[in-house]
Structure 1
Amino acid sequence: MVTLLVIYRKNEIPDYYLGAIKEYSKRLKRYCNLILQEVENQSDVLPLVSSCYTFRVYAKGKALDSVSFSEKIQELTLNGHSKIAFVVNMKVDTDDTLSLTTLDMSDDLSVVCMLEQIYRAFRIWYGEPYHK
């Protein structure tokens, strides 16, 4: 089972985002080992991702539709990448980039959206229904 690591800047996450984060974390348990990691500084990221295929998630990253994102996760997994990391809104060197939107959004909302997109990707991968 693939391990997915979502890394984001440490801050107080509002309850309304926490509820969504908990819900998607629960849903993702059947598809992957999910690790949510808060970090104090960008310098804390590198040791966490040294053995991962890593995406920098930010507004100027590469835009993928849901099917293409699902295919990318499948491709990485099938090519031996057992750990994939998503670094949200931080300037770090990564293997690839990803954009959730061209609009700026808070780190908290970006984490929720990233989890939703990961969940959607697995549903597509496994041929399970998911609204469009």
Structure 2
Amino acid sequence: MKITIIGVGKIKEKYFIEAIQEYSKRLSRYCKLEMIEVNDEKTPDQASAAEETQIKKLEGERILKYVKDGAYVIVLNIQGKVVDSVELAGQIEKLGVDGTSHIIFIIGGSLGLSQEIIARGNLQLSFSKMTFPHQLMRVILLEQIYRAYRINTNEPYHK
């Protein structure tokens, strides 16, 4: 299975980069992982709703360049479905059994995702009603994907 994570914005913090590298290394046993960063747009202070919509649209166009036909797309959205780790593991396993060979996870920037990206998603997934920085969300997502593979292969992993 190929897993692609598309995130808006560049990660600059060394501790996030190291965590991403660690989970990428761990995941290499289970799947082919691809990490894609697309440029974020500068958001002016006190941006209008129209400006915010335009910014999300531009970021969305950058994301869509990497979304392949036939891939199962999971968008991270605060209004999405909340699942636990076992349910996420089951979803990933079911997709593989059903013949899906490529899952794309999309993490938006500080303003979230455009309606075009949300509409393209096969599943909207929420990790919490809380807002997380997009850099940290990449680490959390990688950890949960790793946990899912450990669950699906009946390998021990802390609870």
TM-score, normalised relative to structure 1: 0.94
Q: CA RMSD in A?
A: 1.1
- Where does the alignment leave 5 or more consecutive residues of structure 1 unmatched? none
Map 1:71-82; keep pairs closer than 5 Å.
Answer: 71-82=90-101
Residue 110 (structure 1) aligned to one of 130, 137, 153: 137
Residues 46-93 of structure 1: CA deviation (Å, up to 9, x unaligned)? 232232100111222111111110000000111111000000123312
Report the Cα distance in structure 2 between the residues aligned to 1:27 and 1:129, rounded to whole angstroms.
14
The DSSP-based 3-state class of the residue aligned with 1:130 is coil
Report the Cα distance in structure 2 between the residues aligned to 1:128 and 1:105, rounded to whole angstroms.
29
Number of matched pairs: 131
1:101 is aligned to: 128
Deviates more, 1:19-28 or 1:93-102: 93-102
The DSSP-based 3-state class of the residue aligned with 1:60 is strand
Any conservation in 1 of the 2:72–2:122 contact (CA below 8 Å)? Answer: yes
Sequence identity percentage: 37
2:51 is aligned to: none
Any conservation in 1 of the 2:74–2:105 contact (CA below 8 Å)? Answer: yes
Report the Cα distance in structure 1 between the residues aligned to 2:38 and 2:85, rounded to whole angstroms.
28
Residue 46 (structure 1) aligned to one of 64, 77, 80: 64
Report the Cα distance in structure 1 between the residues aligned to 2:136 and 2:11, rounded to whole angstroms.
12
The alpha-carbon deviation at position 12 of structure 1 amounts to 3.7
Tell me which structure has the larger Cα radius of gyration: 2
TM-score, normalised relative to structure 2: 0.79
Any conservation in 1 of the 2:23–2:146 contact (CA below 8 Å)? Answer: yes
- Where does the alignment leave 5 or more consecutive residues of structure 2 unmatched? 40-58
Report the Cα distance in structure 2 between the residues aligned to 1:12 and 1:69, rounded to whole angstroms.
25
1:24 is aligned to: 23
